[in-house]
Structure 1
Amino acid sequence: MRGIKKFRACIDVGIIRKIMKFELNSLPRNCPDETIIAEMKRVDAIIGKDILSRRDFDKHSKINSTTICNRFGNSTWKDVLVRAGLEHKYGGQDFISEKVKQNKSHRLTNDEIIEEIKKIAKILNKKEITTDDVKNHSKIIGPAVIRTGFGSWKKAIEKAGLEVSIHGHRHSEDDYFENLLNVWTHYGRQPLYREMSLTPSQITVEGY
Structure 2
Amino acid sequence: MIAHEWLDVVPCTIAEYDGAVWRTVEVDPSSEERLAGPVVGTDLQWLQQNWRPGETEGDRAEIGSTRDAAYRDLLSRIDSGLLALVDYGHLRADRPRWGTLTGYRDGVQCPPRPDGSTDITAHVAMDTLGAGELVRQRALFDQLGLRPEAPAIALAREDPPAYLEGLAERGSYAQLTATSGLGDFWWAITTIDH
Q: TM-score range by the shorter chain?
A: under 0.3
State TM-score, norm by structure 2.
0.25
Higher normalized strand content (fraction of residues):
2
Larger radius of gyration: 2
Higher normalized helix content (fraction of residues):
1
